[in-house]
Structure 1
């Protein structure tokens, strides 16, 4: 199986002013493309060739850094583009998701605060997550291309806190980027769709 870079589900300028056309041109067209290219090269002639992306992520963790790093980042970014949409965010969540956030995370406002804190608190490059583990919603963070799949959880929302995700638009203001992500960009219907599959 050869992996390819899918088109963005919206125009490059559709998330402005919260995420600029320039950021998406670099982040999607160059960074994500590099993960896809490097993954295809890394799995040639290995045990990972022919496996699904999720299988590669799980089976290469701790065993093959070149494969895992590029598979993890490919997986993360395939969802990342769909975790955002033009005119996203807001406070109106799908009912079952809102109920679960209230039950497990103390309400939507607390979730937003804690999710952003996880992203701000991730030293260096990585991700912050809303994940499902053992039937409960949790907030977590991981370094580099790691994700909840390798820790027995299912990610249903993730925010990329590598500098290439926000530096063009926000410079060193990671908290402002995370606030804009949650308040203005999150595609809650997609989050709810993933939640329904867990």
Structure 2
């Protein structure tokens, strides 16, 4: 076969189309990607063991992204950012989408809040904790109490609302985004978050994570964002 200049150009153009088509096909099939864990699996020990992190991140968190990528294609949510899916699906009453997107987003936030921790609250954020919870101990006690108010699985979130701090308990995949609140710290109450390390001692797990793992300086920065 004799390759002329015209045929060579046509071959090159076809290759370029194929190269650009491949990513779009992959994106349509799997638009939501689980971010890498921001530290090693053993970085949160002993409060959260490497085994718990491996199963929690590698199995449970991954499964939420996998399921969302099965449900989203062909829906209006396929081209949204994950945060937008959480808000829109809740508003639309699309529970199947919301549950997977909510848990996917919740866990991205969950892992990120431990990066650089532990670190104490500072500045206006520390003042807000003193004002709204009578200090750090009052905040931790309020976390434990709110966790007891969540029946079964769910989350407890420290949120900012018009400059004030509050705790909000949500069942299952719930989070503050659909309520227009700013999440600052989120504690996972699902058993996969703590049972291997603490068995049924959920309150002990919550206290350890709050005091020894959360980066409270970063939480204060989220309050101002």
Q: TM-score, normalised by structure 2?
A: 0.82
Gaps of 5+ in 2: 1-26
CA RMSD of aligned residues (A): 1.5
Does structure 1 residue 133 correspond to structure 2 residue 146? no
Does structure 1 residue 82 correspond to structure 2 residue 130? no
Quote how far apart the aligned CAs of 1:151 are.
Answer: 2.1
Correspondence for 1:118 among 143, 146, 164:
146
Going by fraction, where is helix more abundant, 1 or 2? 2
Q: 1:9 maps to what in 2?
A: 38
Per-residue deviation, residues 24-56 of structure 1 (Å, max 9, x unmatched)? 011001111001111111110001111111111
- In the alignment, the residues of structure 2 paired with residue 6 and residue 159 of structure 1 have an alpha-carbon distance, to the nearest angstrom, of 19
- In the alignment, the residues of structure 2 paired with residue 97 and residue 26 of structure 1 have an alpha-carbon distance, to the nearest angstrom, of 33
Does structure 1 retain, via aligned residues, the 8 Å contact 2:184–2:222?
Answer: yes
The number of equivalent residue pairs is: 195
Correspondence for 1:72 among 102, 113, 124:
102
- In the alignment, the residues of structure 1 paired with residue 45 and residue 172 of structure 2 have an alpha-carbon distance, to the nearest angstrom, of 26
Per-residue deviation, residues 148-196 of structure 1 (Å, max 9, x unmatched)? 1122312111000100000000000001001101111111122122112
Does structure 1 residue 23 correspond to structure 2 residue 52? yes
Gaps of 5+ in 1: none
- In the alignment, the residues of structure 1 paired with residue 125 and residue 174 of structure 2 have an alpha-carbon distance, to the nearest angstrom, of 24
Higher relative contact order, structure no. (Cα contacts within 8 Å, ≥ 6 residues apart): 1
Q: TM-score, normalised by structure 1?
A: 0.93
Does structure 1 residue 145 correspond to structure 2 residue 173? yes
Question: SS at 1:49's partner residue?
Answer: helix
| Structure showing greater Rg | 2
Quote how far apart the aligned CAs of 1:87 are.
Answer: 5.5
Does structure 2 retain, via aligned residues, the 8 Å contact 1:122–1:141?
Answer: yes
- In the alignment, the residues of structure 1 paired with residue 121 and residue 221 of structure 2 have an alpha-carbon distance, to the nearest angstrom, of 12
Quote how far apart the aligned CAs of 1:85 are.
Answer: 4.0
Q: 1:192 maps to what in 2?
A: 220
